[in-house]
Amino acid sequence: MSIPGAASPEAAWQKGVRAAAGTDYETALRWLERAARLAPGDPRIALDLANIRLRAGRGGQIGRAAATFEALTSRFDVVEGWLGLLAARWLQGEHEAAAAALHELLRRHCVPADQGFAEVASAVAAAAGRPGWCGMDAGGLMHIAAVGPVAAFIDGAPISVSHLGKAPDGVIALCSGTEALLGSPLQPVALRRCVGVVETAGAALVGWASRPAAPSCVPELGLVDALGRRRKISMGDILPADADAPLTTRYRFRCPVAMLLELQPPFHVLGPDGRDIMGSPVDPSAEMAGPAIPAEYEGPANRTLPPRARLMVVVPVYRGLAETQACLHAALEALPPQAGLIVVDDASPEPELSAWLDDFRLRPNVTLIRQENNLGFPGAANAGLRAAQGCDVLLLNSDALLAPQALETLLEAAYSRPEIGSVTPFSNEATICSYPRREGGNAAPDFCATIALDALAAGANGNQTVEIPTAVGFCMLMRHDCIGRIGLFRPEIFAQGYGEEVDWCLRARHGGYRHVAAPGAYVAHVSGVSFGAAGRRAASRALNLRNNKMLMRLYPGYEKLIEAHAKADTLAASRRRLDEARFKAGREASAVLLISHHQGGGVARRVTSEMQQIRAAGARPILLFPAMMEGAQPHPTP
């Protein structure tokens, strides 16, 4: 049966939802399939369609539903996806796969409030030959169901199960005999976590919050002032879906001026886990203090070259065990004599990472600073900068790979002129210092390829420097005299990060310092390790937008300054020399010449695929296409 009349994806979706509410699953299926064809990338439609296919339960619909649930959980990690995958695998008779879905559901999300869930969970565990299951509900109460005696451990230490009514902090492991229960180990702090963002709206505070592990539960937020006085924040309605978190339920909130006038800033907006949401702490008066200074203004150049100081590499750490290990091993190997490495553990939520840092701190020249609370990148960087007082500092992201020779190149650049305050290397992902595509989006090389690229960059560009309007925070060498005069980052304005290094660089620019790129150095950047979950990505993007607005207010003309730099493309000659060096270095490999137009589209995709295959075969692809004309779109290069 066909459905007459055209409909937008939204209209078809809503018709399908209404039909499903009336249990007319056949009609719901047709409308939702139509909506999915019109908007194949919309996960909200995909989730509803998968649920209807599961309820229809005929033909191959259950298998198709399972495939959709599996794809959704790999992208968004939402409880509805895991519940759907659990049900689909159970109906398919795949008991081990159903148990695996139940384990991920319980480990990552609070126990659903559905009264029938406990019975289903126990049946799934029994069918898979598992001794039972465990979880924590949205109120913090533990749920444990097992066929035999249960042993419990918190952070490795044994504890009586009777003491686990209200889930304590720490990692909770539960087992029966020698086998772990499904859902174990649990991390109650993560299950209670709240994500969101707060910003100023005049003299008031506004924002949104969500509990990823319990999306149907309205988050409980508290406002705490500088004197420790606390107020409860009233939550409002649900916001529309966000592009970065389309399946996340986000609740709006507002702290009116009347509430804030009774309190002392700065204000902390805390979730039920006691942690600041993004943008917190916030001080409306600090954000509005001080006159705005045009971004293009340059203070009289510093004319005194200071003596060289000891070097300290500062690496704030939060998430990503493998990336952090690679970063710190490379940084330690690159340290010159008398230099030191300061690692700041910004209250990492990953026990494995914190445990590894405890061992790493025992190495020579390594100092570990452990934050009690997560402060975000600016606060963690400031802790390292204070510990490195009087030293030159290489501020390095924990997902960067530093080639041994790159550090010396950056130091030489920093002391090549009196007015230089900071130095940034080339990288695959470094905004205005990206290479080979200057707009970024280049794949991160491994450590061996990073060393090779750095050597080629040094040979092509030597110790040259190119002035840039601002450093790039993933890897910036900050000279000691500039830090001493300009000060630290300003977390009271930029909170957990985004834009804090731009603010510091523009203050330095106004104070007589300049910022340069060192195209003779190359440092790899994996990028974005700290922000994983969809809700956190949405909050981080909102914080980024908020902080960008702050930069525009503090430094009028900042956007035009960056646009003028991009138009001038002062690093073009440096990129070209590195291109030529790479081309010459690859002469030993056989080459395949491809000729194409520069209009993009299907031809560009085919050429890109061909180039990848040629590289995989050990040859070197060379693409020839017409020079860019104004208004034409560039040909993508892998």
For 18-55, write each residue's pLDDT tens digit: 998 988 988 999 999 999 999 998 999 999 999 999 98
Q: Going by C-beta distance under 8 Å and a sequence separation of 6 or more, which residues neighbour residue 8?
A: 38
pLDDT of residue 530: 45
Q: Going by C-beta distance under 8 Å and a sequence separation of 6 or more, which residues neighbour residue 475?
A: 394, 395, 396, 397, 400, 402, 424, 425, 427, 430, 523, 525
Q: Is the pLDDT of residue 284 over 90?
A: no
d(CA 206, CA 277): 12
d(CA 364, CA 341): 9
Confidence category of residue 589, pLDDT binned at 50, 70, 90: low
Other C-beta atoms closer than 10 Å to the C-beta of 595 total: 10
How open is the CA angle 32-88-70, to the nearest 5 degrees?
Answer: 75
The domains of the chain, with CATH numbers, are 1-92 (1.25.40.10), 193-288 (2.60.40), 311-576 (3.90.550.10), 587-638 (no CATH)
d(CA 88, CA 71): 13
Report pLDDT digits (tens) over 434-446. Answer: 999 998 889 999 9
State mean pLDDT over 287-313. 89
d(CA 21, CA 16): 9
d(CA 567, CA 129): 65
Asked, as a colleague might, if the bond just before 266 is cis with ω within 30 of 0, I would say yes
Confidence category of residue 467, pLDDT binned at 50, 70, 90: very high
More confident residue, 636 or 603: 603
Confidence category of residue 304, pLDDT binned at 50, 70, 90: very high
- 8 A C-beta contact, residue 425 and residue 574: no
State mean pLDDT over 69-85. 93
Q: Is the pLDDT of residue 289 over 90?
A: no
pLDDT of residue 637: 44
Q: Is the pLDDT of residue 638 over 50?
A: no
Give the lowest-confidence range in 40-54, 248-262, 538-552, 572-586: 538-552
State mean pLDDT over 329-343. 96
State mean pLDDT over 102-129. 95
d(CA 387, CA 243): 40
pLDDT of residue 633: 45
- 8 A C-beta contact, residue 396 and residue 327: yes
- Half-sphere exposure at residue 399, Cβ-oriented, CA atoms within 13 angstroms: 17
pLDDT of residue 395: 98
Q: Is the pLDDT of residue 383 over 90?
A: yes
Confidence category of residue 632, pLDDT binned at 50, 70, 90: very low
Q: Is the pLDDT of residue 102 over 90?
A: yes
State mean pLDDT over 522-529. 82
Give the lowest-confidence range in 67-81, 166-180, 606-620: 606-620
For the chain, percent of residues with pLDDT exceeding 90: 69
Other C-beta atoms closer than 10 Å to the C-beta of 613 total: 12
Residues 60-99 as b/e (b if ≥16 CB within 10 A, e otherwise) read ebbeebbebbbebbeebbbbbbbbbbbbbbbeeebbebbb
Identify the H or E element spanning 215.
none
Q: Is the pLDDT of residue 635 over 70?
A: no
pLDDT of residue 627: 64
**Pair type for strands 392-396 and 400-402:** unpaired
d(CA 349, CA 274): 13
d(CA 359, CA 363): 8
Q: Is the pLDDT of residue 419 over 80?
A: yes
Asked, as a colleague might, if the bond just before 185 is cis with ω within 30 of 0, I would say yes
Task: Answer whether 0.85 is exceeded by the pTM.
Answer: no
